[in-house]
A and B are shown apart, each in its own frame.
Chain A
């Protein structure tokens, strides 16, 4: 995995703005100048209520949405360039793999789709890694539970042995056991040197997982730093209270 990309930060955003056109005249400023850097080897959590602009930010990072203003570097490259995506995995929000395929068939597809790494995992190894029970491997995915589908989604990201994964709300819609398992998986990935950027609107998930967090509210990044720093800054004992204080403070201002 040692290569040129290690010299660059996994992700750098500078003054990123995004203006969506809604209808003829109406416009929506989803991001109002966001600057952010992700360090190699960390787990970074972007927190924010629904509609804050988290998904927009992530899609801009991957070149799926073109920012109205600002600079984006993914692995040191413009994200629209193929080499920027080397070693990067992404799981979209509400991802559902094709309902008529089985996890095995889908993994064969996902594996070939982005064969960037020199030694990708085999589809079955990836399914084992995410802990999908073997009896589900050959069942059509419309018959699988949401937790199982999320595992398949993660497997399709991990199959390339990425060094940096971007996950949009990876824990939403999972039951407590599912959350626990996915978190465990993410920590394991991180322990082996992987970098993680994840979005969430559920604070409880983030607390014991992320090294650093960012708080995004109505398109502005209100805070970036360690959770302890956030608690100290707001003078609260709980992440949830600190988050509310941050977001409410913005509203009053």
Chain B
């Protein structure tokens, strides 16, 4: 436990020192400004539109954060001998993976918090009110990206090449994001085999349809808790699988 916490803490420290986080926040402010502008143009429900656009930007940037930071981090650590150094100490491979994974979460959480505080601040300043479901949106994103992060850890242990792991994680994200719609489309088509396959994919992999921020924000607490549980199941499965792979690996 102490080793895991130590690894998590130093993942966070190393992450904060990376310059691109500052870059990401600057980019975020820029996209927010742009979405405010579009929000002003839309007459119907500007606060909702602005929240929507802001959420999309944050989603995109959080994904970038996960991919570029977490995956690069793990490969760099392998190349530079840090992984060997850590595992030569009395640290088990589960402790290593859980520690680093927790560190990535510790980095993701304040990033989402700061982004949404910025968004809320802007809405207050311009419309003197905040979209009512706003506080729940970062929670939905956090759950979803925790699952993506766990997958990124798994694929980084599995693939020798960093680029392969990046592509695999992006593919995972896209498949999980689209699996529900694919099932819907296929079920209306004339090919029962395709319909079966898409349904199977949707049921086996986490379906990101369930994490839709606005749906999540309005859902009852039971739904939220259930989704937390659903996410945890995938996270534990991915990390356990990653550990089993790393145990067998010659590093």
Contact A82:B88 (CB < 8 A) given known A109-B6, A113-B6: no
With CB as the reference atom, state the residue of chain B lying closest to A89.
B88
Main secondary structure, interface of B, reads helix
Interface on B for A, CB 8 Å cutoff?
3, 6, 10, 13-14, 17-18, 80-82, 84-91, 248, 250-251
A65 proximity list for chain B (CB < 8 A): 250-251
A114 proximity list for chain B (CB < 8 A): 89-91
B13 proximity list for chain A (CB < 8 A): 101, 105
A101 proximity list for chain B (CB < 8 A): 13-14, 17
**Most B C-beta atoms less than 10 A away, residue of A62, A90, A92:** A92
Main secondary structure, interface of A, reads loop
- Tell me if A100 is interfacial: C-beta within 8 Å of chain B: yes
A96 proximity list for chain B (CB < 8 A): 80-82
- Tell me if A66 is interfacial: C-beta within 8 Å of chain B: yes
A96 to B82, CA, bound (A): 7
**Most A C-beta atoms less than 10 A away, residue of B84, B87, B89:** B89
A114 to B248, CA, bound (A): 23
Q: List 25 A-B contacts (CB under 8 A).
A: A64-B88, A64-B251, A65-B250, A66-B248, A66-B250, A82-B90, A85-B89, A93-B81, A94-B80, A94-B81, A95-B80, A95-B84, A96-B80, A97-B82, A98-B82, A100-B18, A101-B17, A105-B13, A109-B6, A110-B85, A113-B3, A113-B86, A113-B91, A114-B89, A116-B90
Taking a contact as CB atoms under 8 Å apart, the answer to whether A112 and B6 are in contact is yes
A98 to B79, CA, bound (A): 11
- List A46-101 residues whose CB lies under 8 Å from chain B: 59, 62, 64-66, 82, 85-86, 88, 90-98, 100-101
Q: How far is the CB of B138 from chain A (nearest CB, A)?
A: 26
- Tell me if A195 is interfacial: C-beta within 8 Å of chain B: no
- Tell me if A156 is interfacial: C-beta within 8 Å of chain B: yes
Not counting A64-B84, A95-B85, a sample of 19 additional A-B residue pairs whose C-beta atoms are within 8 angstroms of each other reads A59-B250, A64-B251, A82-B90, A90-B84, A90-B85, A90-B88, A94-B80, A95-B80, A95-B81, A95-B84, A96-B80, A97-B80, A100-B14, A101-B13, A109-B6, A114-B89, A114-B91, A116-B89, A156-B85
With CB as the reference atom, state the residue of chain B lying closest to A157.
B85
Taking a contact as CB atoms under 8 Å apart, the answer to whether B251 and A59 are in contact is yes
Report the count of interface residues on A (CB-CB < 8 A).
Answer: 30
B3 proximity list for chain A (CB < 8 A): 113
A93 to B82, CA, bound (A): 10
- List A104-147 residues whose CB lies under 8 Å from chain B: 105, 109-110, 112-114, 116, 140
B18 proximity list for chain A (CB < 8 A): 100
With CB as the reference atom, state the residue of chain A lying closest to B9.
A109
B10 proximity list for chain A (CB < 8 A): 109
Contacting B85 at CB < 8 Å: which of A82, A86, A88, A91? A91
B91 proximity list for chain A (CB < 8 A): 113-114
Q: How far is the CB of A15 from chain B (nearest CB, A)?
A: 19
B250 proximity list for chain A (CB < 8 A): 20, 59, 64-66
Contacting A64 at CB < 8 Å: which of B14, B87, B90? B87
Taking a contact as CB atoms under 8 Å apart, the answer to whether A92 and B90 are in contact is no
A104 to B112, CA, bound (A): 30
A95 to B6, CA, bound (A): 20
Taking a contact as CB atoms under 8 Å apart, the answer to whether A113 and B89 are in contact is yes
A97 to B80, CA, bound (A): 7
Q: How far is the CB of B199 from chain A (nearest CB, A)?
A: 33
8 residue pairs, one from A and one from B, having the closest CB atoms: A114-B89, A92-B81, A95-B81, A100-B17, A96-B80, A90-B88, A92-B84, A82-B90
Q: How far is the CB of B70 from chain A (nearest CB, A)?
A: 15
A95 proximity list for chain B (CB < 8 A): 80-82, 84-85
